[in-house]
Structure 1
Amino acid sequence: MDVLALEGSINTVGYGLAAIGPGIGVALVFAAYIQASARQPESAGFNRTWLVLGFALVEALALFGLVLAFAIGG
């Protein structure tokens, strides 16, 4: 038996690695919102719209990756 052999679906490993990108993207979106709100508190309401939009777009990419991992694997 080979020590480096992987059993199961390699798609789940690929998705796990691909989820790092959206995780960093979400962190950057929220960091930008916090920084913008700290610099100009009066624009926090306007910036919240962009926060939700950015979060939704980044998370959509993660969900596309999840669906693709299941579609190829099965």
Structure 2
Amino acid sequence: MNIALGLQDFLVTRTKRSWEPEEDLFASGVVSSLFALELVVYLEKAYGVEVEGENLSIDNFRTIRRIEELVRELQAAAS
């Protein structure tokens, strides 16, 4: 599955609104730090990555595009 589409589906289901790829999820006020933890769990299960240490930076979770980049980086590092 396309990472960006999977993220979009997850976010729409959980927040009941659509998101632009570059929209700041946290600035919207809809996404909290607690929700970010749910997002980490989703990413780890859906894409088989481990998000830990410096990768847990909130900047890695600000936009769909940045989250997609993070997942790709983690997948590449694991191969």
Scaled by the length of structure 1, the TM-score of the pair is 0.32
Larger Rg: 1
Q: Which of the pair is proportionally richer in helix?
A: 1
